[in-house]
């Protein structure tokens, strides 16, 4: 079944200029100390993936895995280009985690930028390259990586979407009509497991067989981020997040990074905070700075976050 929607949105809340400070109340259940500053973080239930690197310095980064329940961890070579400086830069672009599997994306180059997608698992820790694409440096990233679930991680190469299972086998592969600019996985309504953003205005929902079961058209909005939740598709456009026909204003300059526990998790100027879906109330959870930003991901089972070399986990609902 293919359902198509041209959506009109209703705002239920009035955005406020004040963000309540709750940073001191967020005490971790456990923590891990990385050998290098943590630049990015991924979460799937109690499995945490993270990037340990020194930004703007020619050094080889590491990809970390931490099982917060078993309290086991390891790091692997990120396999980024780190021997010589690329004229337009190099580094680790993104990281994602399922239950035991890590995926991460590296880039490097001059006029042409080389993109590579890598994977490693708790039992096969030697990194293996899954995809490689060279593209003009000014072109959008040809490979995009979405947040993981316990069963797998979605990624796209141009218009081809793969939902890779935690066991390394593809749950599905499908080719869409246009290049994918963002992808996300989760359990949504109508059997949607993966959502893919095409251009700025169209998001398609894919089921377990990779079939397009829903098409959302945001004719008056430019979508910049997408997530899948049981409440429905979640997108950010401008300073607002939309869930179905509900508009949730975020604090000015905030970027959505996750949705769970009835909250939108966001970053702003290095800080990490939430906005309640039911009330629109915003709260800062973790203090950071633009030079030392906080990263975080939120699940029904808890929240993981990092600042500097510390990776922290708090089990249960947010206070």
Q: What is the pTM of this model?
A: 0.91
Q: What is the pLDDT of residue 50?
A: 98
Q: What is the pLDDT of residue 253?
A: 96
Q: What is the pLDDT of residue 219?
A: 85
Q: What is the pLDDT of residue 90?
A: 84
Q: What is the pLDDT of residue 303?
A: 98
Contact partners, residue 56, CB within 8 Å, separation at least 6: none
Q: Report how far residue 160's alpha carbon sits from residue 180's, in angstroms, rounded to the nearest whole number.
A: 8
How confident is the prediction along the chain (319 residues), in pLDDT tens digits per residue?
333 444 444 444 434 435 776 554 689 999 999 999 999 999 999 999 999 998 767 678 999 999 999 999 999 999 988 767 776 788 999 999 999 999 999 999 888 999 999 999 999 999 999 999 999 999 999 999 999 999 999 999 999 999 999 999 999 999 999 999 999 999 999 999 999 999 999 999 999 999 999 999 998 889 999 999 998 899 999 999 999 889 999 999 999 999 999 999 999 999 999 999 999 999 999 999 999 999 999 999 999 999 999 999 999 999 8
Q: What is the pLDDT of residue 22?
A: 56
Q: What is the pLDDT of residue 94?
A: 97
Q: What phi, psi does 190 have (nearest 5°)? A: 60, 25
């Amino acid at each position: 079944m293919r359902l198509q929607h041209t959506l009109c949105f209703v705002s239920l809340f009035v955005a406020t200029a004040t963000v309540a400070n709750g940073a001191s109340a967020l005490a971790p259940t456990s923590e891990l100390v990385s050998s290098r500053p943590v630049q990015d973080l991924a979460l799937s239930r109690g499995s945490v993936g993270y990037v340990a690197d020194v930004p703007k310095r020619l050094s080889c980064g590491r990809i970390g895995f931490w099982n917060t329940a078993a309290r086991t961890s390891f790091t692997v070579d990120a396999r980024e280009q780190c021997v010589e400086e690329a004229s337009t830069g190099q580094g680790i672009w993104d990281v994602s985690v399922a239950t035991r599997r890590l995926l991460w994306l590296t880039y490097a180059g001059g006029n042409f930028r080389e993109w590579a997608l890598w994977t490693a698992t708790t039992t096969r820790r030697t990194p293996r390259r899954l995809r490689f694409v060279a593209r003009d440096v000014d072109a959008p990233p040809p490979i995009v990586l979405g947040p993981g679930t316990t069963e797998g991680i979605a990624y796209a190469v141009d218009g081809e979407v793969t939902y890779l299972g935690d066991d390394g086998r593809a749950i599905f592969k499908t080719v869409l009509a246009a290049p994918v600019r963002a992808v996300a996985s989760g359990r949504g309504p109508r059997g949607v497991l993966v959502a893919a953003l095409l251009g700025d205005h169209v998001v398609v929902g894919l089921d377990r067989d990779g079939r397009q079961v829903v098409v959302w058209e945001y004719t008056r909005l430019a979508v910049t981020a997408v997530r899948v939740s049981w409440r429905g598709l979640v997108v950010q456009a401008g300073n607002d997040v939309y869930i179905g026909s509900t508009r949730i204003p975020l604090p000015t300059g905030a970027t959505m990074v996750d949705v769970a526990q009835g909250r939108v998790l966001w970053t702003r100027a290095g800080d990490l905070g939430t906005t309640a879906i039911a009330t629109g109330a915003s709260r800062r959870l973790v203090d950071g700075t633009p030079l030392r930003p906080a990263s975080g991901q939120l699940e029904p089972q808890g929240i993981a976050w990092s600042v500097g070399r510390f990776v922290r986990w708090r089990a249960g609902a947010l206070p």
